[in-house]
Amino acid sequence: MTGTWLGMPPFPVAAREALGNEQLRTNLRKATGTIRGKRAAVVDERADWEALRVAGKEIKDRTLHNLDTYLEQLERKVTESGGVVHWARDAAEANRIVIDLVRAAEADEVVKVKSMATQEIELNEALAEAGIAAYETDLAELIVQLGHDRPSHILVPAIHRNRSEIRDIFLREMPGVTAALTDDPAELAAAARAHLRRKFLTAKVAVSGANFAVADSGTLVVVESEGNGRMCLTLPEVLISVVGIEKLVPTWQDLEVMLQLLPRSSTGERMNPYTSTWTGVTPGDGPQEFHLILLDNGRTGALADDIGRQALRCIRCSACLNVCPVYERTGGHAYGSVYPGPIGAILTPQLRGVTADEVSPTLPFASTLCGACYEVCPVLIDIPQALVHLRAKAVDAKRGKPSAERTAMRVAQWVFGSSRRLRLAQRLVSIGGRVLGRRGRIGRLPGPFKGWSGARDTATPPRQTFRTWWESR
Amino acid sequence: MTAREEILGRIRSALSTVDKAEIVVSRDYQQAIEGDLVGLFAERVADYRAAVVRTTADTVPEAIAEQLAHFGIGSVVTPADLPADWVPQAVTDAPPLDVPALDAADGVVTACAVGIAETGTIVLDAGPGQSRRALTLVPDFHLCVVRTDQIVGTVPEAIARLDGTRPLTWISGPSATSDIELNRVEGVHGPRTLVVLIVG
Ligand code: SF4
């Protein structure tokens, strides 16, 4: 497996391969099940969870609807506080800015705190090409990096690896590690600590992302657990943060919502061990040079789509991955993107463009539309609605003319838009399913449905929908 | 055209059909909680496997000494403006200690800005008795003194008390990772031991 996403097979091919990997499925099932349980427990603790979700959605919608204003406000505040703001249209431009800044600091290595944005732009590869070594410092990212692998989960990128695989990677790749190392998680973590300690204490430049950027105060926020984030944000002389333009919240007060939604939804904790905030530079405390790179890289394209736009509300908690039956069986690599799972299925095709490559148009089909992702999303992103919308777009783009499949997606979109229509449609499907199903499964369908049904066995629709059963009780 | 102009232009055209009236955020979630906040704070901090100790204002130095002895902490660094009698033998951070000096210390003792009961969180804002961020990061042991009047119930109450433009560190338990088969391991890069001393 190579370190980049380029040339990945489309989802149906990758998924079929992943389904054959027993180890992967066992690791995943165990991990997602555990996080699901923890999340449910801390969410149940909050009687006001729904009110928090609504506030979270409104904060992000307010941001997106006035994004230009808030970005200019953030830029002004960061600049006033001694930071430097850069704008990057795409990955190449962002990477070039980082490389120039590292060179200006006369450094040939950087420490990195886990960042989806820098993975998205494949910064590590660009730095390597420029002769700059990048050290991932998050334990899971380190495992991925040393394993010459790709992350497979937003929150726990090495979720697909078990302890003995991790021990093998450390033995092979980590200088100074001997065969005495066992696969005890505490010992493995201690080995990582020792490996990175000197880097932290001597690195001149750090690169980070940010979970949030506050427009009215100019504050950047990083949420983490291990302290590697604090190390990167505090000890180096120069800090470079690459942040997607959608990461804003309008006001300092808005953090009170986000800092309650994010840890509970992602790690299932009331609060993560460490949250760091900083505003520009503080004399005598932390990096004395701060650069903020505001990254577009396809986000404005998503912003222009009335239905797709909601994907930009995402706070990358990964709750939707952990409840997704498709993700649980295929794992993150099958999505061919740094954003896997349900959110990846709607975000990736929008960032890249639905027809940009082989993978993107297949991603909106990587779902059963069961709706579990919508149920858990802390910012109420209607992922099923966006999936159906993007399926229609993908089909449109391929055919360029009306087709049965496109019409089906249009109908689905219309059906999902109203609960009355959904009820009616479910009754019709249940009748149709009885005619179609053989041995309780719908295999490959003929004609225009081939692409849709080729990668999955569709369960025959039940005779009774949940709704009719509920109503008849 | 600069990247800045181009991105702002793309945003404006993307939003050309969007109603730009500011959305009012409904804040009918829980703002404050009542009851035994200190007790809740102690319980939630302990939940993260931090050590929690309670003491009174006139016995702070003794309580600190007892914890340092218990954890075998010999060399201690402290912010220059920490009450001098709290840790008489400490090396103070004035002039600022360099990183090797911080790395050589066994532990650090500081005050804090705010404690949050609901989440078991302490917040440092580089204010009195806290010094800069590196001080509480590099040594492997951190003892943090929290006065009961610094404890609030909820995250919204904490946000209201804090100044967003100061460098903040929110700490909920010691450094931890769950990256290996989701087993919680305490202490990766941050301090592996956190002691919270509640005063009052
Ligand atoms: S889409 Fe929602 S549930 Fe999924 S990662 Fe984003 S915020 Fe979390």
Q: Is A363 in the pocket of ligand 1 (CB under 6 A)?
A: no
Ligand 1 site-directed mutation target among A223, A317, A390, most atoms within 8 Å of CB: A317
Average pLDDT, whole number, for chain A? 85
Q: Whose CA is nearest to atom 2 of ligand 1?
A: A377
Sheet (strand A238-244) strand order: A84-88, A289-295, A238-244, A205-208, A109-112, A133-136
| B14 vs B35: CA distance, rounded Å | 49
Inter-CA distances, B85 with A414, B66, B80, B127, Å: 72, 14, 12, 19
Strands (E), A258-411: 274-279, 289-295
Is residue A351 a contact partner of residue A302, using CB atoms and an 8 Å limit?
A: yes
Q: Is B187 on the interface with A (CB under 8 A)?
A: yes
| A290 vs A282: CA distance, rounded Å | 10
Q: Whose CA is nearest to atom 8 of ligand 1?
A: A317
**Backbone phi, then psi, for A286, in 5-degree steps?**
85, -175
Q: Is A378 in the pocket of ligand 1 (CB under 6 A)?
A: yes
Query: Which of B126, B137, B177 comes nearest A189 by C-beta?
Result: B177
Tell me the nearest-neighbour CA distance from A426 into chain B, angstroms: 33
pLDDT at A358: 80
ipTM given for this complex: 0.96
DSSP A270-283: SS-SEEEEEES-BT
Q: Which distant-in-sequence residues (6+ apart) come within 8 Å of B73 by Cβ?
A: B67, B106, B107, B141
Which superfamily does CATH assign the domain made up of A48-137+204-301 to? NagB/RpiA/CoA transferase-like (3.40.50.10420)
- Domain locations along chain A: 1-45+318-401, 48-137+204-301, 406-472
Query: Which of B2, B26, B103 comes nearest A54 by C-beta?
Result: B26
Mean predicted confidence (pLDDT) in A153-174:
88
Based on C-alpha coordinates, what's the Rg of chain A? Answer: 23
| B125 vs B161: CA distance, rounded Å | 11
pTM tops 0.90: no
The answer to whether residue B25 sits within a structural domain is: no
Pairing status of strand A133-136 against strand A212-214: unpaired
pLDDT at A359: 81
Residue A444 is classified by DSSP as P
pLDDT at A154: 79
Query: Which of A52, A72, A189 comes nearest B188 by C-beta?
Result: A189
Q: How many helices and strands (H and E) does chain B possess?
A: 5, 12
Tokens 């001080």 appear where? B135
Contact call for B7 and A245, based on CB within 8 A = yes
Taking CA atoms, what residue in B is nearest to A200?
A: B189
| A3 vs A200: CA distance, rounded Å | 24
The answer to whether residue B4 sits within a structural domain is: no
| A116 vs A321: CA distance, rounded Å | 15
pLDDT at A427 over 60: no
Q: What confidence tens digit (pLDDT) does each residue in A440-463 have?
A: 444 444 444 444 444 544 454 455
Alpha helices in A174-278 (DSSP H): 185-202, 228-234, 255-266
Taking CA atoms, what residue in B is nearest to A82?
A: B165
| A394 vs B158: CA distance, rounded Å | 46
| A455 vs A460: CA distance, rounded Å | 16
Q: Which residues span the domain enclosing B89?
A: 30-199
Is residue A281 a contact partner of residue A287, using CB atoms and an 8 Å limit?
A: yes
Question: What 3-state class would DSSP assign to B26?
Answer: coil
As beta bridge partners, residue A459 has A441
Neighbouring CB atoms inside 10 A of A209's CB total 23
The answer to whether residue B11 sits within a structural domain is: no
Interface contacts (A, B; CB < 8 Å): 240
Tokens 């701060």 appear where? A290
Is residue A237 a contact partner of residue A128, using CB atoms and an 8 Å limit?
A: no
Residue B160 is classified by DSSP as H
Question: What 3-state class would DSSP assign to A420?
Answer: helix
Per-residue pLDDT of chain B (200 residues), as tens digits, is: 999 999 999 999 999 999 888 899 999 999 999 999 999 999 999 998 899 999 999 999 999 999 999 999 999 999 999 999 999 999 999 999 999 999 999 999 999 999 999 999 999 999 999 999 999 999 999 999 999 999 999 999 999 999 999 999 999 988 888 778 888 888 788 899 999 999 99
Is residue B124 a contact partner of residue A221, using CB atoms and an 8 Å limit?
A: no
Q: What confidence tens digit (pLDDT) does each residue in A83-132 have?
A: 999 999 999 999 999 999 999 999 999 999 989 999 999 999 999 999 99
The answer to whether residue B162 sits within a structural domain is: yes
Tell me the nearest-neighbour CA distance from B58 into chain A, angstroms: 30
Neighbouring CB atoms inside 10 A of B131's CB total 27
Closest CA to B123 of B188, B40, B45: B45
Q: Which distant-in-sequence residues (6+ apart) come within 8 Å of B143 by Cβ?
A: B64, B67, B68, B107, B108, B109, B110, B195, B196, B197
- Please count the structural domains in chain B: 1
The answer to whether residue B2 sits within a structural domain is: no
Q: What confidence tens digit (pLDDT) does each residue in A329-370 have?
A: 888 887 888 888 999 999 998 999 887 788 888 888 888 889
Contact call for B164 and A185, based on CB within 8 A = no
Residues of chain B with Cβ-Cβ distance to A281 below 8 Å are none
Closest CA to B142 of B197, B91, B104: B197
Closest CA to B136 of B121, B126, B149, B147: B126
Q: Is A346 in the pocket of ligand 1 (CB under 6 A)?
A: no
The answer to whether residue B177 sits within a structural domain is: yes
Ligand 1 midpoint to CA A156 (Å): 14
Domain of B101: which CATH number?
Answer: 3.40.50.10420
Q: Whose CA is nearest to atom 7 of ligand 1?
A: A314
Is residue A152 a contact partner of residue A159, using CB atoms and an 8 Å limit?
A: yes
Pairing status of strand A109-112 against strand A205-208: parallel
